[in-house]
């Protein structure tokens, strides 16, 4: 059933001051969370908006093979990007293969617990050393073609018929290394030897996440789907909430969509902060607190309790947060009492340039990754992972195996995916193919962006342009 929506007007020309400061007239996220029974930590109580201009943005960036070729050199060969979780490769010899565009790398756990990263290509005749992508474990790195082999630290170990390769200096034929960085339980690589180290690149993300212990979580769900669009097309669908009104009308009763907060913290880090358990400003007839409680969209619908009641002086948000602290605490065998109402129920989403989106909240605990496939600028691999808290006692669960879902299949078919969440992702996917086709059909060759709600998209595009222009990593 479609809910009644307020009428919309047409925009009127505004001066520069208004363009920079216009906001939805509904209560801001900060005003909403200030009324919570357990208020959010300081890191959520700050705002860092950016007005970056109102110029149209060209569309060639989404499909032009020449632009894509420069992106491979200037972004994918020069930026930090995460490969796997620490838990994917716990033992010496464990490895994880990572592919982006036509590039391929592997990270390998060493005897001393450190991790090395290598280019996944043989020093003999360039065959991929590990086929496909994902997990494995081996005592050495051995090429499947002629059997050259390397120790797991990358040193050349054996060359069949060595008598025929007297011209090969073993020391000069180690596997080419790429930089490895580790933060928050993620293992990152950077193919470039130049540029900032990982923590400088991520700033201020590690400071923001100081209270969220993201390293102490396990992969409960891992779903991957190939999309018929550019990697930036797919990523940008998750940088704004403007589309919720038209694309996801079923969640308007319970999500503050038009009053989402958007922050631009650094070149590499932006944030989206949405209050849940509240009315969409678009609703013509806002729901009462008890009605909101029955509507709240939370990542795991099995945790809803239909008998919940909003007591005197309480809000739906506070009741939902209290329920989830208890229900999730029992389910994951951990104490969640330190988390605020907002951390329990809201959508808190950080974008890490270029292709990582990370949610520290407890009930919406996703990680997204967007990667171009092969040399085609109009194919993207989109992955969704759910990170759940490790138990306070006992071993952490093993990471879930990735499940591939075809473009035509519903996300809801993936193991562990909540049906309501799956439906939302399906709606997003339907937009992406149509948008990519529309880039080619456009009469103007440009797009128009909202000044605030789509400020993270503009910011992202500006950082892409900086990399393409400079060909150098940015601090």
C-beta separation of 287 from 253 below 8 A: yes
Handedness of CA 335, 294, 357, 268 (dihedral sign): negative
Radius of gyration in angstroms for the set of CA atoms belonging to the chain, rounded to a whole number: 24
- Show the tokens assigned to 319: 């009741």
Between residue 96 and residue 125, which ones bind ligand FES under the rule CB under 6 A?
A: 122, 124-125
Smallest separation (angstroms) from ligand FES to the CB of 468? 33
Question: Which span (41-49, 51-59, 144-152, 253-261) binds ligand FES, by CB under 6 A?
Answer: 144-152
Rounded to whole angstroms, what are the CA distances from 129 to 118, 119, 143, 462? 10, 9, 5, 36
Residues 359-378, one symbol each (x = binds ligand FES by CB under 6 A, - = not), give: --------------------
Q: What is the DSSP letter of 44?
A: G
Element (H, E) at 294: helix 289-295
C-beta separation of 227 from 266 below 8 A: no
Smallest separation (angstroms) from ligand FES to the CB of 189? 22
Residues 236-275, one symbol each (x = binds ligand FES by CB under 6 A, - = not), give: ----------------------------------------
Smallest separation (angstroms) from ligand FES to the CB of 161? 11
Residue 127 vs 266, nearer CB to ligand FES: 127
Residue 127 vs 192, nearer CB to ligand FES: 127
The CB-side HSE value for 362 (13 A sphere, CA atoms) comes to 30
Residue 16 vs 145, nearer CB to ligand FES: 145
- Show the tokens assigned to 381: 């691999």
Residues 203-222, one symbol each (x = binds ligand FES by CB under 6 A, - = not), give: --------------------
Smallest separation (angstroms) from ligand FES to the CB of 129? 7
User: Edge to edge, what strands does the sheet with 403-405 contain?
Assistant: 261-264, 269-274, 347-352, 356-358, 366-372, 380-389, 217-227, 403-405
Contact flag: residue 127 with ligand FES (CB under 6 A): yes
Smallest separation (angstroms) from ligand FES to the CB of 136? 17
Residue 18 vs 125, nearer CB to ligand FES: 125
Smallest separation (angstroms) from ligand FES to the CB of 126? 6
Residue 158 vs 442, nearer CB to ligand FES: 158
Residue 122 vs 352, nearer CB to ligand FES: 122
Residue 148 vs 273, nearer CB to ligand FES: 148
Question: Which span (66-74, 146-154, 360-368, 433-441) binds ligand FES, by CB under 6 A?
Answer: 146-154
Between residue 271 and residue 330, which ones bind ligand FES under the rule CB under 6 A?
A: none
Q: Kindly tell me which residue out of 95, 148, 273, 386 binds ligand FES, with binding defined by CB under 6 A.
A: 148
Give φ, ψ of 226 to 5 degrees: -85, 130
- Show the tokens assigned to 306: 């239909």
Contact flag: residue 146 with ligand FES (CB under 6 A): yes
Q: Residue 96 forms beta bridges with which residues?
A: 107, 135
Residue 148 vs 186, nearer CB to ligand FES: 148
C-beta separation of 189 from 79 below 8 A: no
Question: How far is C-alpha 291 from the geometric centre of its chain's CA atoms?
Answer: 31
Contact flag: residue 145 with ligand FES (CB under 6 A): yes
Residue 144 vs 471, nearer CB to ligand FES: 144
Rounded to whole angstroms, what are the CA distances from 26 to 132, 324, 381? 49, 27, 36
- If DSSP codes are grouped into helix, strand and coil, which group holds residue 455? helix
Smallest separation (angstroms) from ligand FES to the CB of 118? 14
If binding means CB under 6 A, how many residues of this protein chain bind ligand FES?
Answer: 9
Smallest separation (angstroms) from ligand FES to the CB of 142? 9
* d(C-alpha 355, C-alpha 370), whole Å: 5
Question: How far is C-alpha 467 from the geometric centre of its chain's CA atoms?
Answer: 20
Question: How far is C-alpha 136 from the geometric centre of its chain's CA atoms?
Answer: 24
Contact flag: residue 158 with ligand FES (CB under 6 A): no
Smallest separation (angstroms) from ligand FES to the CB of 164? 12
Residue 142 vs 179, nearer CB to ligand FES: 142
Span between the terminal Cα atoms of the chain, in Å: 49
* d(C-alpha 436, C-alpha 446), whole Å: 13
C-beta separation of 281 from 297 below 8 A: no
Residue 35 vs 145, nearer CB to ligand FES: 145
C-beta separation of 368 from 238 below 8 A: yes
CB under 8 Å to 305, separation ≥6 — which residues?
Answer: 323, 327
Between residue 445 and residue 464, which ones bind ligand FES under the rule CB under 6 A?
A: none
Residue 148 vs 425, nearer CB to ligand FES: 148
Q: Kindly tell me which residue out of 107, 143, 221, 296 binds ligand FES, with binding defined by CB under 6 A.
A: 143
**What is the contact surface with ligand FES in residues (CB under 6 A)?**
122, 124-125, 127, 143, 145-148
């Amino acid at each position: 059933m479609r809910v009644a929506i307020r009428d919309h007007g047409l925009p009127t020309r505004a001066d520069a001051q208004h363009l920079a400061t216009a906001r939805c007239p509904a209560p801001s996220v900060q005003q909403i969370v200030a009324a919570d029974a357990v208020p959010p930590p300081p890191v959520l109580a700050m705002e860092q908006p950016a007005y970056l201009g109102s110029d149209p943005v060209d569309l060639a960036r989404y499909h032009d093979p020449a632009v894509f070729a420069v992106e491979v050199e200037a972004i994918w060969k020069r930026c930090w990007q995460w490969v796997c979780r620490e838990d994917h490769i716990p033992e010496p010899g464990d490895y994880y293969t990572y592919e982006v565009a036509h590039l391929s790398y592997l990270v390998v756990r060493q005897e001393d617990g450190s991790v090395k990263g290598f280019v996944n290509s043989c020093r003999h005749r360039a065959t991929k050393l590990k086929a496909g992508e994902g997990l494995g474990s081996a005592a050495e790195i051995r090429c499947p073609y002629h059997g050259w082999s390397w120790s797991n630290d990358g040193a050349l170990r054996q060359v069949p018929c060595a008598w025929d390769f007297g011209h090969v200096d073993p020391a000069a034929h180690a596997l080419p290394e790429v930089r490895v960085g580790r933060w928050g339980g993620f293992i990152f690589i950077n193919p470039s030897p130049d540029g900032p180290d990982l923590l400088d690149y991520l700033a201020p993300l590690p400071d923001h996440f100081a209270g969220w212990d993201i390293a102490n979580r396990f992969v409960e769900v891992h779903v991957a789907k190939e999309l018929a669009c550019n990697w930036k097309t797919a990523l940008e669908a998750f940088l704004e909430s403007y589309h919720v009104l038209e694309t996801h009308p079923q969640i308007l009763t319970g999500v503050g969509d038009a009053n989402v907060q958007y922050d631009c913290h650094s070149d590499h880090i932006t944030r989206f902060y949405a209050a849940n358990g509240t009315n969409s400003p678009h609703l013509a007839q806002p729901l009462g607190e008890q009605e909101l409680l029955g509507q709240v969209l939370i990542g795991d619908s099995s945790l809803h309790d239909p008998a919940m009641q909003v007591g005197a002086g309480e809000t739906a948000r506070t009741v939902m947060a209290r329920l989830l602290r208890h229900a999730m605490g029992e389910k994951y065998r951990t104490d969640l009492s330190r988390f605020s109402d907002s951390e329990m129920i809201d959508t808190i989403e950080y974008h890490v340039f270029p292709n990582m989106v990370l949610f520290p909240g407890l009930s919406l605990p996703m990680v997204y990754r967007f990667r171009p496939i092969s040399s085609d600028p109009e194919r993207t691999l989109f992955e969704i992972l759910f990170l759940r808290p490790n138990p306070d006692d006992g071993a952490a669960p093993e990471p879930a195996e990735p499940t591939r879902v075809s473009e035509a299949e519903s996300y809801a078919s993936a193991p562990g995916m909540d049906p309501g969440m799956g439906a939302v992702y399906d709606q997003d996917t339907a937009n992406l193919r149509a948008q990519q086709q529309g880039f080619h059909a456009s009469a103007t060759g440009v797009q128009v962006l909202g000044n605030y709600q789509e400020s993270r998209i503009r910011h992202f595009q500006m950082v892409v342009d900086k990399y393409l222009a400079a060909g150098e990593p940015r601090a």
